[in-house]
Structure 1
C-alpha cells in the first residue's frame, strides 16, 4: 500500500518535470530503498523513461535513503527541499547525488492539476488563494511562537531570556579557564613536593 502510494505520487511529480526524468534516465535499472522509520521500507528502481518502478529483487539496493517520519511536519510545512536536509543517503555516490538532487528540487504543479478540473483561470485563483492562506498561517504561527516565548521568559519565568544567557555564557567560559589554570598550578605544586 505505502509503496504504491509513494510510487504513484512520485511518478506523477516526475511526469510534470521533464528535467527530473532526464536526470534519472542515465541511472535506468539502478535500485534504491526509501527507509521510513518506523513504517518500513519502499524498494524501487529507475525505469528507462526516468520514472520509478517497483523493485522486488534480491540483495541490497545500490542506494538507501533514510528518513524519520518525525520530520514529516517539516516536510509538510517547508516542502521536500528542506526535508531532504534530514535524509541520510548511503550508497553509490553518483546515483545518490542524482536522487538527492531530484528530491530536493521536485515540486508539485498544483495549478496544472487543478486546471484540468476547473479550468486555467479558476486553478490560478485557487492556487493563489491557497498560497495566501498558507502564508498567513505561517505568519500566525510565528506570532504565536513569539508570544509564547515572551510569556515563558517574561511572565512565567520558565525560560531564561536571551539577554541573560550571553553574560552567563561568558562567565562560564571565564570560570572554565580559571579552573584549568588552577589545575595546572596544583599539578606543578604536586610535582615540586
Structure 2
C-alpha cells in the first residue's frame, strides 16, 4: 500500500478517482479480456508441462479479481485457457488484495508475488500456484522471430540490465522507507 509520505500517493489517489469515474464500454472490456487470454495461451504453449497440468483441470473455472477487474477462466481440453461464461460457477477465486497499481508494480520489480486472497479448491489453487511459479514468457525468443537473434539478444540484455537497476532502486527505496537498519 502507498503510504501518505510516498511520492506516489498523489498519483495513486488520482488513479483511484479516475478508475471509479471512467468505466470502459462492455465491448472494450470483452476485447481486452480476449487479448489477455490469447497472450496467456501464447505463454502457456511455450511450456508443455503447463499444458499437461491444465489438461487435467479441464472444465474447471478460476475467477481472478483486482479492483474493478473480474475475469473467469476455464481450462480447455487442449491445456489452454478460455474465458468462462459469465454465469459459470468459480471453483477457485483469486483476489489481489493490493489495491494500488504502484504497490503492485513495486512488488513486481522486487520479484515478489502480490498479496492474494484465495477462496475455493485447494488442489486447483496448488496447480495455479505451480503455473505462476514455473511459467515464464520468453520475450527474447518472440522478439528473435521478428527481428533476428542478435538484435533480440541485445535488446533483451539491455532490458534485463534496466530491470535489475530498477529492482535495486526499488529495493533501496523500500529499505529506507522501512526505517533505520540498526547498528552496523
Query: What is aligned with 1:73?
Result: 105
Query: What is aligned with 1:13?
Result: 43
What's the CA shift for 1:54?
A: 1.2
User: Which runs of 5 or more structure 2 residues have no equivalent in the other structure?
Assistant: 1-28
Paired with 1:113 and 1:21, the residues of 2 have a C-alpha distance of 19
Paired with 1:25 and 1:139, the residues of 2 have a C-alpha distance of 39
**Pair 1:25 & 2:55 matched:** yes
**Pair 1:41 & 2:73 matched:** no
Say which structure is richer in helix. Answer: 1
What's the CA shift for 1:161?
A: 4.5
What's the CA shift for 1:126?
A: 1.1
| SS of residue paired to 1:83 | coil
- Residue pair 2:63, 2:93 contacting (<8 A) in 1 also: yes
- Residue pair 1:32, 1:44 contacting (<8 A) in 2 also: yes
**Map of 1:1-193 to 2, 5 A cutoff?**
1=29, 2-36=32-66, 38-56=67-85, 58-68=87-97, 69-70=99-100, 71-74=103-106, 76-79=108-111, 82-83=112-113, 86-143=115-172, 149=176, 161=180, 163=182
> RMSD of the TM alignment (CA)?
2.6
Query: What is aligned with 1:185?
Result: none
- Residue pair 1:74, 1:83 contacting (<8 A) in 2 also: no
Deviations 1:40-66 (A, max 9, x none): 310110001111111115352111111
Greater relative contact order structure (CA < 8 Å, 6+ sep) = 2
Length-normalised TM-score, structure 2: 0.70
- Residue pair 1:35, 1:41 contacting (<8 A) in 2 also: yes
Paired with 2:170 and 2:179, the residues of 1 have a C-alpha distance of 22
What's the CA shift for 1:23?
A: 1.2
User: Which runs of 5 or more structure 1 residues have no equivalent in the other structure?
Assistant: 153-158, 165-193
Alignment length, in residue pairs? 150
Larger radius of gyration: 1
- Given the superposition, is the C-alpha separation of residues 74 and 49 from structure 1 closer, same or farther in structure 2, using an over 3 Å criterion? farther
